[in-house]
Amino acid sequence: MPGNRWTKSQIESLVGQIVHLSKPLPEIDIPGKTRAAINNQRKRLQRAGVLNGSFAGRAVKPWTFPELKRLTAFTQDYGFSASFIAQMGLLPGRTKDSIGKMMGRHGLGNPTIKERARHAQRFDARRREEFQRFLLAEGRLLPSMLVSRQWGLAQKTVTAYRRRLGIRLSWREARSSDEFRRQQRKRSAAFVAHTRERWRRWREGKKLLWGKLRQELVQRPDCPPARVCQACGEQWYAAREFFHVRTRRSPAGVKIGYCRTCRLCRAELRRRSAAASCAMAARG
């Protein structure tokens, strides 16, 4: 409804979604307001200083080299699409649009999908009828993704046709399709890649910190005795920062001592065994 005044609660909701939830434009939802109206109101609020700098307008954050490297891996090694990368938060702070543009600039992405998008066109009346007949007959149970590929349409368009014809695939039908399973595998691969990446960054940061700590300790008169990790072979120090303290109870009393593996290796081992038991639970 263009021209409708914004109510107080609508504005409050908009501010909340921008400031507290840091939502990008496509994700902001105000019932009864179009995306253009939301965008305009957002600009007005920004100029009025209501948004506390949460939304800076068209501030361009340059892409870093590591980001581009990861984008290349996500698209070429995993075959992820821009919307998928954005949805999974694989490149924090990058929207679907900016990821898509970057992919375009560097020739990344799936060539068939790009080709299809380029040739996407509206059907003429005859072709439309033909398509509807197909959907009602042999294409009835075909996953929308496959239909879209076969007919050179966007998947959204296929779904819209199905809805209008009243033959939407049931949840069960869609789920049982190979396409659904393929998407699910893709999703879990992304999740694994994401966690692995976060884990790697955490570990690198920790190791850097420990290196500094080691240099500081060595110069101190009260430097604790050196202690070598049994797993990675690095020489750290017998201190809580590097080694987990274990308490063992025995009939002879309580024994307190440092673990044989450093905290980094201990965390790694625990993570691996958790992943292994997860996989076992999934299989069994």
Chain positions contacting Zn ion, by CB under 5 A: 229, 231-232, 262, 265
Closest approach of Zn ion to the CB of residue 265, in Å:
3
Per-residue DSSP letters for 83-127?
Answer: HHHHHTTSSTT--HHHHHHHHHHTT-S-HHHHHHHHH-----HHH
State the minimum distance, in angstroms, from the CB of residue 231 to Zn ion.
5
Which C-beta is closer to Zn ion: that of 191 or that of 202?
202
Q: How many CA atoms lie within 13 A of 148 on its CB side?
A: 20
User: Residues, the chain, total?
Assistant: 284
* Minimal distance, residue 230 CB to Zn ion, in Å: 8
Cβ of residue 232: shortest distance to Zn ion, in angstroms? 3
Look at the block and give the residue holding tokens 């595998």: 185
Tell the residue number behind the tokens 């590097």, with chain if given. Answer: 242
Q: Please state the closest distance from residue 93 (CB atom) to Zn ion, in A.
A: 32
* Residues 6+ positions from 101 with CB-CB distance below 8 Å: none
> What's the angle, vertex CA 239, arms to CA 208 and CA 232, rounded to 5?
55
The smaller minimum CB distance to Zn ion, of residues 174 and 231, is found at 231
* Tokens 């450093």, residue located: 262
The rounded Cα 207 to chain-centroid distance in angstroms is 26
CB 186 within 8 A of CB 80: yes
Task: Indicate the residue among 161 and 237 with the shorter CB distance to Zn ion.
Answer: 237
Q: Which is nearer to Zn ion, 145 or 229 (CB)?
A: 229
Q: Is the dihedral of CA 19, 24, 30, 32 positive or negative?
A: positive
34 or 235, CB closer to Zn ion?
A: 235
Query: Closer to Zn ion at the Cβ: 50 or 232?
Result: 232
Q: Nearest-CA neighbor of 117 among 92, 82, 141?
A: 82
Instruction: State the nearest-atom distance from the C-beta of 20 to Zn ion, in Å.
Output: 40
42 versus 227: smaller Cβ distance to Zn ion: 227
CB of 229 to Zn ion, least distance (A): 3
Rg (CA), the chain: 27
